[in-house]
Amino acid sequence: MAKEQGRKLVASNRKARHDYLIEDTYEAGLVLTGTEVKSLRMGRASLVDGYATFYGDELWLEGVHIPEYLNGTWTNHTPRRRRKLLLNRIELDKLAAKTRESGHTIVPLALYFKDGRAKVEIALAKGKKAYDKRHALRERQDEREVQRALHSRGRDV
């Protein structure tokens, strides 16, 4: 069997970019069981409630839902279990220092396979206020209206 090449997206967390101001992103490996990998290969996962936290000097991913593998037996995993993230010590120390500051958290942005290995893109983020979210939505809406006006004007000429 040939090894997979490239990047195959399993799940993305679009809500995170709306709710948080993304400051820095990292690619981390995941420690998974066999049935979790099979379930991910079927394209089933949800990152919506996910976050990462430190226990001791290790980073753990919590709240990510990977449903049980349909053909699994008694060896099946629990869907919302805590999963260890694999990063370099320098990156872990940098993230630990930043998360001690108030308002910073670590959220998962995407879960994907890269060259056959499960990876998660995590981001150091700061929570947005409600008025920041409204402002961002208004800017997107204004930009869309400008593009629509330019597009329709180009057709009439």
Q: How many CB atoms lie within 10 A of CB 61?
A: 24
Topology (CATH level 3) of domain 7-128: Small Protein B; Chain: A; (2.40.280)
Q: Cα(45)–Cα(18) distance, rounded to whole angstroms?
A: 20
Residue 89: per-residue pLDDT? 92
Beta carbons of 28 and 120 less than 8 angstroms apart: yes
Residue 102: per-residue pLDDT? 76
Half-sphere exposure of 24 (CA within 13 A, CB side): 10
Beta carbons of 111 and 64 less than 8 angstroms apart: yes
Residue 129: per-residue pLDDT? 74
pLDDT tens, residue order, the chain (157 aa): 456 677 788 888 888 887 888 888 899 999 888 888 888 888 878 888 888 889 888 989 888 888 877 776 667 766 678 888 999 999 988 888 888 877 788 899 998 888 888 899 999 888 777 777 788 788 888 888 888 888 887 765 4
Residue 139: per-residue pLDDT? 83
> What type of residue is 148?
R
Residue 1: per-residue pLDDT? 47
Q: What is the pLDDT of residues 98-108, one digit of tens each?
A: 888 777 888 99
For the chain, how long is the longest CA-to-CA vector? Answer: 68
H or E, element range at 59: strand 58-62
